[in-house]
Structure 1
């Protein structure tokens, strides 16, 4: 048991290896409660991963471009955020294939060659919100946030430009959106209107307390608390709705990237990119998917996107 600076107790635990995937940049993990399987991406390898925890079977598909994020669709397909376009794919019909066949839904920032699709999340109203990452070496903040819906296509959200947009998630009724720019150690939130793709009242939700930690992927649980994977700090942190730190789940990899709740289990992806030989010798499981018993009361179903 640890303590937060206020003196309040903080529960700490250690996640264990679930899938030894050794992804260069594992990200965007999702749980499909219908099929009871996990999906995630290795962005740098341009691969989509699928894992069935019950059978232990894992399958990967190759894609024509880096896959930054993904979402479950209402009709059973996946929405796939490739580098410069959103696609849809019926992955379950292609379990015998290595190359995934997809259908393009929309081009993304075709006028800006120095960005690619990064983090994204279903918005609880059938839409999908995602950000684009700066590909400049100096990470100048040129990335934007967008909403995609079947009715309106792409609409840009009036949020500050970002270098690495991340931590996108929504409260239970989908009217509060959480997000960040990973180069700044804080998570923001704002009011979000899905119907009009408008945002307002932008403010700081929480600042990270560990030097070198970068906020990465986040989810909201049944109690309204936010779980955030903290790149560089080797941990996932649960923040209560008022911003107080409640739990810390440490990982055997320094670069956890995204998390999801599946039943009573918290799953999280991690990355090997940027780790030298010495670092990999110390954390040989980096790039794997890890698991932690989080408690069934915290689980909420993964939201789905409505596709044309």
Structure 2
């Protein structure tokens, strides 16, 4: 374990510009960084809870805030630390009070692709998948509805998307066209080894790393299991490649622990892929479409 902060872990991302990992704590309403940038605190308080995030090309951070996507300015070195207030970009599924953003990442072209979950007690499959961009706004992807969207990731060439319903025991895949927000040829990618699909990322060779409860699983591009790593201390929440050469693989625990792989498992590890930055226009507009 490298560090433990906050009360919960959620989405883990590598911020290449600041050379640090970042993750939101949806329980404590904090945005954490490790290692903390020089002369900056490791955590910054947010006015709203977030569980999904992406770095933007403007230097700002895109956050999934319940039913809304918002973007925040991070404090600069020497500035007083104050709570982060998001500029709202779009509200999702405004007429349905049970849904909330549950997972998301940028595609290889800088659009943000995310999904929602049913937070109600009925647990009906009413969650959906969407693409959001400053150019086209919010567009729903023609994928099956889910109880809880999870495991959204894109192949190195950006033409294949994987996704899952966290309540089921499989990871699915489809062809993906970013310009038209079109998906096709939906089919099975692989079955889970453990119940509870979580975050997923591709490495440079097209292998998929999948968080599944207390296990980190590496799949080949064809869906075959290559290896599995048990996580003894806490349930995993997310996984991300980082470091200057993207050759470090860290796992974020659901209770806020940040873990590195043992040295023997790092030998021969294929580096990851840099996250595409969300294409942020930086405009002052706070309007957004709804779906």
- The TM-score bracket by the shorter chain reads 0.7 to 0.9
Q: What pairs up with 1:1-308 in 2 under 5 angstroms? A: 17-24=1-8, 26-52=9-35, 59-93=42-76, 96-210=80-194, 213-231=195-213, 234-262=214-242, 263-272=246-255, 287-292=256-261, 294=266, 295=268, 297-308=270-281
Whether the 8 Å contact between 1:185 and 1:208 is mirrored in structure 2 is yes
Q: Give, in whole Å, the separation in 2 of the partners of 1:50 and 1:307.
A: 21
Contact kept in structure 1, 2:18 and 2:37, CA below 8 Å: no
Q: What is the Cα deviation at residue 171 of structure 1?
A: 0.5
SS state of the match for residue 12, structure 2?
strand
Residues 235 and 209 from structure 1, CA distance in 2 versus in 1: closer, same or farther, beyond 3 angstroms?
Answer: closer
Shift of 1:301: 1.3
For residues 285-306 of structure 1, the C-alpha deviation after alignment (integer angstroms, 9 at most, x for no partner) is: xx31111154564222122110
C-alpha distance in 2 between matches for 1:142 and 1:47? 29
Structure 1, unmatched stretches of 5+, are 1-16, 273-286
| Structure 2: runs of 5 or more not aligned | 282-291
Find the aligned partners of 1:34 and 1:54 in 2 and give their Cα distance.
11
Cα distance change on mapping 1:114 and 1:168 into 2, 3 Å: same
**What is the CA–CA distance in structure 1 between the aligned matches of 2:70 and 2:6, rounded to whole Å?**
25
CA distance in 1, matches of 2:221, 2:38: 36
2:289 maps to what in 1? Answer: none
Q: Residues of 2 paired with 1:168 and 1:224: CA distance?
A: 14
Paired residues of 1:23 and 1:270 also in contact (CA < 8 A): no
Segments ≥4 residues shifted beyond 3 Å: 53-58, 293-297
Report how many residues are paired. 273
- 62-71 or 125-134: which moved more? 62-71
Distance in 1 separating the partners of 2:50 and 2:139: 20
Distance (whole Å) between structure 2 residues aligned to residue 291 and residue 58 of structure 1: 21
Q: Which has the higher strand share?
A: 1
Whether contact under 8 Å (1:235, 1:254) holds in the other structure is no
TM normalised by structure 2 equals: 0.88
135-144 or 288-297, which moves further after superposition?
A: 288-297
CA contact (8 A) 2:6 2:30 kept: no
- The one-character-per-residue Cα deviations of 1:13-56 (angstroms, maximum 9, x if unpaired) are xxxx01112533x1110001221111111223332211217879
The CA distance in 1 between the partners of 2:116 and 2:188, in whole Å, is 21
Q: Contact conserved, 1:52 with 1:58, CA < 8 A, in 2?
A: no
Work out the CA distance in 2 between the residues paired with 1:37 and 1:96.
20
Residue aligned with 1:218, SS: strand
